[in-house]
């Protein structure tokens, strides 16, 4: 049994401590917005925040995040009010299939907290998520729009 704090709520999950956080979120807690893409921290579809920092949850064992604050895509909008990143994503119609976008939005949200006005070079360095639909042009536009607020 591990005790996790997810989107502000304490959750007990009955899993082997080596279970990746991704699968505890998806299968024990029922938060399926965080996606499985590769399982080896390559694609970033599983990105969540642990104590505010972006983490690839597919390789993060549950045992390593006990007692830490975990935020998932479901924890961003409060009472249905989109964050500025989500709003920019909506305005710029970023998603195509959308499968990678939870991770993309989590990675960008963390970037903007760190660098409120990122340059293109900052974006290139921080955002390494794979998107097979190829939404990068809209992702970049939306990041700049979100940064302008």
Among 5, 33, 64, 144, binds another protein (CB under 8 A): 33
Separation of alpha carbons 76 and 83, rounded Å? 7
Within 82-141, which residues bind another protein (CB under 8 A)? 82, 86, 89-90, 93, 95-102, 105, 123-125, 127-140
> Which secondary-structure segment (H or E) carries 47?
strand 47-50
> Does the footprint of another protein cover residue 56 (CB under 8 A)?
no
Among 2, 29, 43, 111, binds another protein (CB under 8 A): 43
Which residue's CB is nearer to another protein, number 5 or number 32?
32
CB-hemisphere CA count at 13 Å for 4?
30
CB of 29 closer than 8 Å to CB of 48: no
Q: How far is CA 36 from CA 53, 58, 89, in A?
A: 19, 7, 21
Residues lying near another protein in the complex (CB under 8 A): 15-16, 19-20, 23, 26-28, 30-40, 42-43, 45, 72-74, 76-77, 82, 86, 89-90, 93, 95-102, 105, 123-125, 127-140
């Amino acid at each position: 049994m591990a005790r996790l704090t997810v989107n502000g709520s304490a959750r007990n999950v009955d899993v082997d401590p080596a279970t990746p956080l991704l699968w505890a979120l998806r299968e024990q807690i029922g938060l399926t917005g965080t996606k499985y893409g590769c399982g080896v921290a390559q694609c970033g579809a599983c990105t969540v925040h642990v104590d505010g920092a972006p983490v690839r949850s597919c390789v993060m064992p549950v045992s390593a995040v006990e007692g830490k604050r975990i935020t998932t895509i479901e924890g961003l909008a409060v009472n249905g009010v989109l964050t500025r990143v989500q709003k920019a994503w909506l305005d710029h119609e970023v998603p195509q299939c959308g499968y990678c976008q939870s991770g993309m939005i989590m990675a960008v949200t963390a970037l903007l907290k760190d660098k409120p006005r990122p340059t293109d070079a900052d974006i290139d360095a921080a955002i390494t998520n794979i998107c097979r639909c190829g939404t990068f042009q809209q992702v970049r536009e939306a990041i700049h729009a979100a940064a302008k607020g």
